A and B are shown apart, each in its own frame.
Chain A
Amino acid sequence: MTRAPDRTWWQTAVGLLLTAIMLFPVYWMLNVSFTRDQDMRKSPPDWFPVHGTLDGYRAVLDQQLPYLATSLVIALGTVVLTVALAAPAGYALAKLRPRGGGVLGFLLLVAQMIPGIIMAMGFYAIYLQLGLLQSVPGLIVADSTLAVPFAVLIFTAFMSGIPGELLQAAQMDGARALRTFWSVVLPMSRNAVVTVSLFAFLWSWSDFVFASTLAGGGTHEPITLGIYHYIGNNNQEWNAVMATAVVASLPATVILVLAQRYVAAGVTAGAVKD
C-alpha cells in the first residue's frame, strides 16, 4: 500500500505546485486586500504585500458590518427553515414510505435544476404584490429554495440507513410517529443535520441572485450586495473591495477547516452511486 517515501516526494512537489496555481486567485485577493492605494496601479504589481496596510479592513469595519450582520441573520434563518422543512420530509420518505412519495422525491430532484434567475423573477412578481420585497423574511424564504430539495434528499438517504428495529422498538413502547421522529430519528441523524446546515448556511450566505433581485436598494442588504455596490461605486479602493471579499469568504474557510468530511460527503452524496 504505502510506497517508499523517496519515490513520492516529486509527486508531493507537483501536487503543491498544482495547488498553488489553483489557489493563486485566492492568494491574490489576500495580497490586494493588504495593498496600499498608491501601490494599487503599480506596474508590475507587488507580488507580496511588502508595504502592507490594514486600510481595507478598516473600511470593512466602518462600512460593511451591517451587511455582514444581515447576511448572518439571513443565513441562520435559512438553516432553521431548511432543517425544519426537510428533516420530517426525509423521515417520511425514508421510513414511512407513503404512496406518492416517489413522485415527491422526483419533483424535488427536478426542482434543483430550475435556474435561480427564473425563480428570482417569479419571486419578484409575488413579493411585489405581498409587499415582501426588501424584507429579511422574504429573502430567507427565497434563499431556502436553494437548499431544501438537496436537504430532503440528504435526510432521506441518511435516515434510510437507520435500522428499522430501533424504530419498531420505539413504537412498541407506545411512541407515536412524532415522538419516534423527535426522540429517536432526529438525534441519530446528527451528521445529516450538520451537512444540511453547513450547505444551507453557505448557499444562503453566498447568494447573489435573490439578493440583487429581491433585496436590492433596501435597508437590509446582505454582504454579497455590499461587495457588489463597492465594485460599482468606487473602482479605486480595491483593497477595501478585496478585504470585504476576504471577510465574506471566512465562513467557507472555517467550514472547510472544521468540517471537511461533511463537505466531501455532501458533494458526492448520491451524485455517484456508492
Chain B
Amino acid sequence: MAKNDLIGGALWEHYSDKVSDRMNNPRFMGEITEEEAAVKGVKLIIADYGADSCGDAVRLYWMVDPETEIIIDSKYKSFGCGTAIASSDVTAELCIGRTVDEAVKITNIDVEKALRDTPDTPAVPPQKMHCSVMAYDVIKKAASLYKQVDMSVFEDEEIVCECARVSLSTIKDVIKLNDLRTIEEITQYTKAGAFCKSCIKPGGHEERKFYLVDILRDTRAEIEREKLNFSEERKNFAEMTLIQKHKMVDKVMTESILPILHADGGSVEIVDMKEVDGYTDVYISYKGACAGCAASRTGTYEVIAVTLRNKVDNSIRVNIL
C-alpha cells in the first residue's frame, strides 16, 4: 500500500492507447466461412476457447495453406472485456503470415508486448494480464485441430502462473536456491502470482492445477528433508546447534529404532539432550512394553546406543531416565 493505491477506479487509466484503440476499432474481428476458404483452396480452422460462464470466450479462425502450413488469414470473435477483445485482435494479427508451428510459439506475453505503447510500460494493469492468456490457449487449440492432435502436446512443461508464464520447475528451483519462505518472495523473484493472482491459492479468479501455497509448502518440506540428510551433514555434527543435533537424533530414532520397539509393543522417547565435554548426552524414557522390560537396560539399550553412534555421531551417550 502506498500513495498510488489509495484512490480506486484507476483500472482504465492503466490501459495502453493501443488497447483502447483495438477495443474501439478492432482490425481483425470477424468470421471466415467455408466458402471463402474453398475459393482460396485453403483449410479453414475454427477454434473455440473458454465459455461465457467464465466471463471470457474466444473463437479463432485460421485460413491455412496446406502446402506451406502458413496461416494466410485470421479473424476472431470474442466475448470478454476490453482487454480480452484487444488481445484477441492482436493474436489474430500475430498469427497471420506465420506457419502453424511458429504460431504455437506465440505466448500471452508476446500479445501483451504487442499492445504496449512503449517497450517498458505494461499494456494492461496486472490483474488484466490473464486476459491475454486466452489468446495463447486458443492458438494451441487451433493448432491441435489443424494437426488433429491433443492440445497437451504443445505444452512442454507445467505452467503454474499463466500470466507471467512461470513453470513449476522454475518456481521450485527458485525456492530452493534462494531459500524462499513466503509467497511474496516467490512473486518478487519470478513474477508468478503478480497478476491475476489465480495461481496463489484456490478460490481465485480461475481454477488452477497448481497453487503457489502448495508448491511452497511441499518445496519447503523437501528442503527440510534435504537438510536432515545426515550422510552429508554428519561430519559437521560437532558444529551443529543443539536443535539441529536433536533433529538428526530424532530422525534416526523414528526411522531406525522405533519400528523395532513398536514390533514388541514398546516405545521410547527423547526427553532431553545436553552437550557435555564434547559428548552429546541423550536422555531417553521407555514407554509401553519397554518400560519395566529387563532387556530395556541391556540388549535394547545397546541397540539404541549403537544405532545412534553409528548413524548419527560417535559422541553420543545414551542415558535412561
Check if A and B associate. no
Q: What is the interface of chain B, defined by CB distance below 8 A to chain A?
A: none
Q: What is the interface of chain A, defined by CB distance below 8 A to chain B?
A: none
